[in-house]
Amino acid sequence: MTADPPAVTGADPAGPYAGSGSVAQAAVCLADFERAAAAVLPPDVRDFIAGGSGGEITLDANRAALDRVFLLPRILRDVTEVSTRTRLLGTPAALPIAVAPIAYHRLVHPDGEIATARAARAAGAPFTASTLSSVPIEEITAVGGTVWFQLYWLRDTARTLDLVRRAEDAGCSAIVLTVDVPWMGRRLRDVRNRFTLPGHVRAANVETGAAAHERSANASALAVHTSRTFSSALTWSSVAALRKLTGLPLVLKGVLAPEDALRAAEFGVDAVVVSNHGGRQLDGAVPSVDALPEVARAVSGSCEVLLDSGIRSGPDVLRALALGASGVLVGRPLLWGLAADGEAGAARVLELLAEELRDALGLAGCDGVAAAARLRTVRAGSSMERSPEAWAPRAGAEV
């Protein structure tokens, strides 16, 4: 059994908004922030962030699947200089990591998305602003850095397209269309808590009305709100219309089937995000990392492939790169950092990921992100006893 990392000291038990930097200074891994955030967040908010849909089978499976991926490090490589720099959607990035779209950052800290966007800018990582962000998109892009806009397709198509134009005018550099939420998955923690948004938190980019703030019997107010707001008629024709409307890079988030990834590339999509929404939509959906290799093979370089759901460390990022991703999206850990220590906490989360990724690259014999794509992987339970032909270098692989 692996012992838990030592508990982080410095969290203010009176609330999550101290932002003293003490938690950030003491944290040595992302799990430290998870514990610190759990100690200060209200139970219903903690459940909203941590929970998944149904019996949380897919939520748990995301981590288990990542832990089954083992890397075959290479030796006798010069790793005196190891770079984490890369390009995501054609734009230089300090890391193969983007901040995933998450709604309502002000649930955990009054600075909300402003603080997390600043942390992403400092780290050189793209920040994905949600349609349901608690700060208007124009204020987020004013922070600077690379900002992508995550789009939910609304029942009112005109309002949807207006959001795209707002994002363009605000200076966003990509549109990330979420394609796996015809309605919100049945998240039992939120149902049991009869979860509602507090009065000071709202969706700043769309009108929510009162639905998200009204307590319902045996229901999540957010599920009620999104069922009234999101369209369940999102189809490939919608993707075609969006591709025609915007010249920005277009990303589809929530792709698991290789056939869908291939069709996305045929529709001119610039990237797909292999994602099961962090285990928050279809419970029983395949773990994202298990779907990744087939998706990468299906598109065969015709569009970028990113991985989302369950990334918690630098070695996780390296696993994704070795399995065919050009980068990853990281979500919940940014909210843990924000809750525990404000902007300093969110910044330290990304700093830790950068440190861990550089360490993992070097120990695997890789001097950069491109070299990581040539690493081989072994799944737990598979046999290393293969014929000599099985170990023959692949075309283009280093020897």
Active site residues: 277
> DSSP readout, 154-176?
BSSHHHHHHHHHHHHHHT--EEE
* DSSP letter assigned to residue 30: H
Which two tokens mark 159? 């309002």
* DSSP letter assigned to residue 80: S
Which two tokens mark 379? 């799944």
> DSSP readout, 185-242?
---HHHHHHT----TT---SSS--TTGGGS-BTTB-HHHHHHHHHB-S---HHHHHHH
Which two tokens mark 292? 């990744």
Cα separation, 155 vs 158, whole angstroms: 9
372 closest CA partner among 327, 330, 308, 329: 327
Cα separation, 182 vs 9, whole angstroms: 42
58 closest CA partner among 227, 215, 291, 260: 291
Q: Kindly give the interhelix angle for 43-50 and 30-40, rounded to the nearest 10 degrees.
A: 150
